[in-house]
Amino acid sequence: MGASFDTVEAQKQFADAEGFPYRLLADTTKAMGQAYEVDQPERGFPRRITYLIDPEGVIVCSYDLAGQDLETHSQTVLDDIRARS
């Protein structure tokens, strides 16, 4: 799942433009962003973080994407999923 503080309409346009096969969450109240501690009020947008959540709902790994190579990020996450399977 992906989420941001954008509107439902903006999220749909972005997902359609990128060809995502899933919906994006529009966290317009920033409740989820605050719960996951990604809100950056001084910057006006959330930190880009990926969370790996196990079947019990526990965060088992997090990846702060600041300065990370986005080309290899998905493979890193997939490798971590396989290592836990």
16 & 34 share domain: yes
**Stated pTM of the model:** 0.76
Q: How many domains does the chain contain in total?
A: 2
33 & 7 share domain: yes
23 & 39 share domain: yes
Distance CA 63, CA 42 (A): 21
85 & 67 share domain: yes
Distance CA 85, CA 74 (A): 17
Give the residue numbers spanning the domain of 82. 48-85
Distance CA 60, CA 51 (A): 8
Alpha helices in 1-85 (DSSP H): 8-18, 31-35, 70-84
Distance CA 70, CA 12 (A): 22
Kindly report, residue by residue over 23-72, the tens digit of the pLDDT: 899 999 999 999 999 999 898 888 999 999 999 999 999 999 888 888 89
